[in-house]
Copies of this chain bind each other. A is one copy, B any other.
Amino acid sequence: MRAAVYEGPGNVRVEDVPDPALVLDTDAIVAVTDAAIGGSDLWAYRGYGQRPPGARIGHEFLGLVTEVGADVRTVRPGDRVLAPFMWSCGVCDYCRGGLTSSCLDGGTFSEVGHDGGQGEAVRVPHADGTLVVLPPADAVPATRLLPLSDVMATGHHAALSAGVDHETTVAIIGDGAVGLCAVLAARRLGARRIIAVGHHAERLHLAVDFGASDIVQGSGEETLEKVMSLTGGVDAVCECVGAQAAFDDAFAMTRDGGRVGYVGVPHLVEGIDLSKIFARNIGIRGGMAPARAYLPALLDAVIDGQLDPSAVLDLTLGLEELADGYAMMDDRLALKAHITI
C-alpha cells in the first residue's frame, strides 16, 4: 500500500510499504478514507522530537473496517469507524476511569513499528477499546468527524482541564486547530465569555465563528494588556501552544485562584516557576488528551448538529500530494490539511 514515511526534517514522502495484516486477535484493519495532518506531525516535520527516519507518520484518520481479529466484538468489516490518535485497551483501570491516554497497553498511531494514519490502511490494536462506529458518510461528512480524532478532543480536554463551566470567563491562547477547537469546546460547556488570543487575523475570525466573544491579535505585553483591559483577568486559560511565552502570558492574565488548562505539547517550555503562582493560587492541569474517552459525547454532539469543527480543515489534498500539505502548514498557508484517500 501507499503510506507517508518521515525521512527526516522537512521530508515526508508517500512510499510503497507492506500492507498491514492482523497480528493479534484483538486487531482490526481499517482502510483509511480520510486523514489529517496535525500539529505534532508538524513538530516532527520541523525536526523536533525523537522520530527516526523511516518511521510512519500521522495519527488522525477514519475509514472502513476491512478485517477483524477473532476476538473483536464491537466492529465488523464494512463499519465506518474513527480512531483517536492513541489506541487503548478499554478494560484496564485507566481506561475504565476515563484516562485512556494512560492505558497500560496503549500506544500512539505511527509510533515505531506501527502504521500511521496518513496511508491507505492501518492496523488498529485493541480495536474494541479504540474504534468508534460512525454514521454513514452521506449522513455525516468526514470533515465534521475527523477533527474528533485529535484536535477537537484535545481542545475539549483543555477546556475541561481549565474547569470551564457556565460561570467562566476563559482565554484561549493559540489560534491553531487545537486552540480553535478549545473555543468550540468552551462554548459547548457554556462559558460566559471566551477571549481568543492568537497571531493570525483569519484564524481569529474563525474563532469568532466558533463562539469567541472577543479576539485579541498579537503577542507579548500588548496582548496581555488587551486581555486585562477587556476582562480585568480571566477565570481560566486554555494554553494551546506549548511554549514558555504562552505559559507566562497564561499566568499573567489569570485571576488569582484561577486555572490554566494546558494541552500544547511542552516542546519549548523551560519550566513552571512556582514562586510566581504560589501566592496567587493558580492551578495547572492538563496534558495528553484521553481522546477515546471523550469520543462518545463529542460524536453525539456532532451527529446532533451541536458541534461542527469541520472549518479547521481548510485544505484538501490527495494522499500523493501530502508533502504539499506539510509545506503549506509549515509556511502557515494552511491551518490543517484534510487528506482524502
Contacts and interface: CB of A to CB of B under 8 A. Distances in A.
Contact of A94 (B99, B257, B262, B286): B257
A277 B101 CA distance: 13
Nearest to A262: B274
Contact of A281 (B256, B259, B271, B288): B288
Interface residues of A, number: 32
A288 B282 CA distance: 10
Interface string A244-285: 000000000000110100100110011111110111111111
A113 to B, nearest CB: 19
Contacts of A223: none
A97 B281 CA distance: 13
Interface in A278-324: 278-288, 290
A275 B288 CA distance: 11
A287 to B, nearest CB: 4
Nearest to A257: B99
Contacts of A285: 259, 281, 283-285
A213 interface: no
A157 to B, nearest CB: 9
A231 interface: no
A102 interface: yes
A72 B290 CA distance: 53
Contacts of A272: 271-272, 274, 284
Contacts of A280: 102, 287
A275 B262 CA distance: 12
A188 B100 CA distance: 32
Given A161-B283, A266-B275, 11 more contacts: A99-B256, A102-B256, A102-B281, A266-B278, A269-B275, A271-B274, A272-B284, A277-B287, A278-B287, A280-B287, A281-B286
